Amino acid sequence: MKRNISFPLVVFLETFILYFLAIIPTEYLLTEKFLIFPTISVQAKAGLFVVFFFVVFIFNYLNSAVLEKSLKILPVLVILFIAGLLANRAYTNFYFSLQVQPKIFAVSSRWGIQAMPIVISGKNFGPVWARGEVYVDDVPMIIEDWSEEEIVAKLPVPPRHFRGRLFIIGANGEESNSYPFEIRNPDFLIGRH
């Protein structure tokens, strides 16, 4: 009878603890720090949770010594579970607060000339009716198309040719990360033929 009650409890606690330890840093690193993915979908998180559940279930089911050790530290597991819930709640609030800042994931070209379209991919750019601005240092670009995850912009006649940083300022005033970008003299194209 003791195993019938304790086994599901241990599996439940260990699954959630493992999930919290894995998903919080993974999501932050992949979507905010290294800008590899715009988001991690709910389906991917659910799939990860199911994988953790089966691993913990099989591990505890096949190895009774592990289950017995887990039962001995059950109060610690409960404390870790509660700490994980609190950490997850704090992280969720923090993560949502980061979603107001535009983030550039990719730029179609590292250089441009007058009227050349540049496609900027990322997230949190803002809705089409609340366009922000795109700059290369202090030179504003002309916005051709704007969406939450993609911007098409063109360079105006530049006041000078230089290497700078391309970045976005959202309609909310938040500034994005920047990418190296060169405004080139169109004469360089003639020299390439």
| CATH value at residue 155 | 2.60.40.10
User: Are 20 and 51 in the same domain?
Assistant: yes
Number of domains in the chain: 2
Tell me the C-alpha distance between 20 and 85, whole Å: 8
What token pair was written down for 18? Answer: 């493992």
**Res 4: pLDDT:** 63
Q: Considering 44, 79, 98, which residue would you say is the last residue of a domain?
A: 98
Same domain for 92 and 112, yes or no, is no
pTM of the model: 0.83
pLDDT at site 3: 55
Q: What is the pLDDT of residue 25?
A: 95
Token code pair at residue 20:
């919290």
Same domain, 135 and 164: yes
Same domain, 74 and 118: no
Let me know whether 122 and 93 are in one domain.
no
Can you list the alpha helix ranges (DSSP code H) found in 29-138? Answer: 42-62, 64-72, 74-98
Contacts of 16 (CB under 8 A, 6+ apart): 81, 84, 85
Hey, how many other C-beta atoms are within 10 angstroms of the C-beta on 106? 11
- When pLDDT is cut at 50, 70 and 90, the band that residue 63 belongs to is confident
Percent of the chain exceeding pLDDT 90 equals 82
Domain that holds residue 156: 103-190
Same domain, 78 and 111: no
Say how far apart CA 115 and CA 141 lie, in whole Å. 10
pLDDT band at 157 (very low <50, low <70, confident <90, very high): very high
| pLDDT score recorded for residue 1 | 40
